[in-house]
Amino acid sequence: PRVVVLISGNGSNLQALLDAQQHEELGGGEIVAVVANKADAYGLKRARDAGVDAVALPHREYDSREAFDAALIKVIDRHEPHLVVLAGFMRILTPAFVDHYRGRMLNIHPSLLPAYQGLDTHRRALADGVSEHGVSVHFVTEELDGGPVVIQAVVKVEPEQDLDALIEKVHAREHLIYPIAVRWFLEGRIKLSADGKVTLDNMP
């Protein structure tokens, strides 16, 4: 199965997926293209280094969100992907885009959803004095960071927890769970049902 990954920056989650593919741990999935909305996204280099088609589609060159998303759909659909993976893609998507990939688009968000949707999750969690924080992979729906959760990893927050150390811990968990979620999807184990829930099949 073919996978297209969308990024905006560093692409360490993309790297985790590329590594999983190389180790044949991605459910037979092949990352066929990486698309970034910023030409200088470091993840584009990671893609090229792995021999994957790397496309820069700068959103600034489009007059509207609708025009950008329409162009993005064209680029993505050239590859006829079974799955679209958002890996640090920092763009709000139009309803038309979300609808086009319904049930076949995943996102990773650095919080234990539904807690801390949106930006700056780590700092907000620390400020609230939470004892647990973490990361979620979810199906993408119209609600920003609000789609049904596929898998989460929990990180314990220590007393006097340092922010950067927390971010690093969460990031390490991201790299663990995203390839698992992608593999499960490509193996047909997780699906988004018509009523917007995640269903599990053939789980071990």
Strand, helix or coil at 201? Answer: coil
11 is in an annotated binding site: yes
Per-residue binder mask for ligand GRF (CB under 6 A), 78-107, x = binder: ---------xx-------------------
Applying CB under 6 A, among 110, 134, 147, 179 the residue interacting with ligand GRF is 110
> What part of residues 128-187 is at the interface with ligand GRF (CB under 6 A)?
174
* CA dist., res. 167 & res. 155, Å (int): 10
13 is in an annotated binding site: yes
Helix (H) or strand (E) holding 108: strand 105-109
CB of 167 to ligand GRF, least distance (A): 8
Number of residues engaging ligand GRF in binding (CB under 6 A): 12
Q: Which of 109, 122, 138, 175 is catalytic?
A: 109
Residue of 131, 169, 135 lying closest to 151 (CA atoms):
135
Residue of 25, 82, 91, 79 lying closest to 52 (CA atoms):
79
Stretch of residues binding ligand GRF (CB under 6 A), selected from 11-19, 20-28, 125-133, 147-155: 11-19
Residue of 98, 55, 61 lying closest to 78 (CA atoms):
55
> Count of residues for the chain?
204
109 catalytic? Reply is yes
Residue 112 is a binding residue for ligand GRF (CB under 6 A): no
Cβ atoms within 10 A of the Cβ of 158, count?
11
Which residues are part of a known binding site? 11-13, 65, 90-93, 107
Active-site positions?
109
